[in-house]
Amino acid sequence: MDEQVVSQARAEVIEKFINLEWLINLIISQHYFGKVYRPFILEVLYDENCSFILRRRILEKIIPGLDKKQIQNLNRLNTIRNYFAHTGPQIVEGAKVGKGQATKVPDPRKLDKAIDFTKLYKEFQRMEPIVAEYLFKLHQELRGKYSKA
């Protein structure tokens, strides 16, 4: 993937993951208040110190019988989001910097390997709709209402 395509994929992955986090917020609010209580979501769950991991952990505590595979998928989507959100810039391979020079973004878990953004993006695209649908169904099971307005 060239830099411009990675940038577009980065934006899409982050935006879609934000939507997943909002679904989790809705489920948590629905559980504790019986409705989507906007002040709670905005003042507590939307706070920058309320991490994805904390919200996921609350979800695991309040919903008995969560599908473990979907939670594993959710965790994987978070890992992919983190790759897109927190890695870069590309570094030059070799001694000379020049046009057409090979570059890579090192994988923080395996520094001798480059991150395969194409593979990660495809994996995210495949898994995200399934997890989103699962979370949306959980919200509906808690009698959450959906409105386009």
* Residue 130 included in any domain: yes
* Residue 108 included in any domain: no
Place of tokens 């090979």: 102
User: What is the DSSP code (8-state) at residue 44?
Assistant: I
Enter the tokens of residue 27. Answer: 């489920």
Enter the tokens of residue 3. Answer: 């830099």
- The counts of H helices and E strands in the chain are 5, 4
* Residue 26 included in any domain: yes
pLDDT tens, position by position, 78-133: 999 999 988 865 554 555 555 555 567 767 787 778 788 899 999 999 999 999 99
For residue 36, the enclosing domain spans: 3-86+116-141
Of the chain, the percentage scoring pLDDT greater than 70 comes to: 83
Number of structural domains found in the chain = 1
Do the strands 91-92 and 103-104 form a parallel or antiparallel pair, or are they unpaired?
A: antiparallel
pLDDT at 100: 58
Mean pLDDT, the chain, whole residue set = 86
* Residue 148 included in any domain: no
Residue type, 122: K
* Residue 11 included in any domain: yes
Distance CA 54, CA 60 (A): 10
pLDDT at 149: 38
pTM exceeding the 0.95 threshold for the entire prediction = no
For helices 68-86 and 52-62, the axis angle rounded to 10 degrees is 170
* Residue 33 included in any domain: yes
* Residue 102 included in any domain: no
Q: List alpha helices for 34-149, DSSP H.
A: 38-40, 52-62, 68-86, 117-141
pLDDT at 101: 52
- Lowest model confidence (mean pLDDT) among 2-16, 54-68, 93-107, 116-130: 93-107
pLDDT surpassing 80 at residue 50: yes
Enter the tokens of residue 18. Answer: 């934000």
Which of the four pLDDT bands, split at 50, 70 and 90, describes residue 38?
very high
* Residue 93 included in any domain: no
- Lowest model confidence (mean pLDDT) among 31-40, 53-62, 87-96, 106-115: 87-96
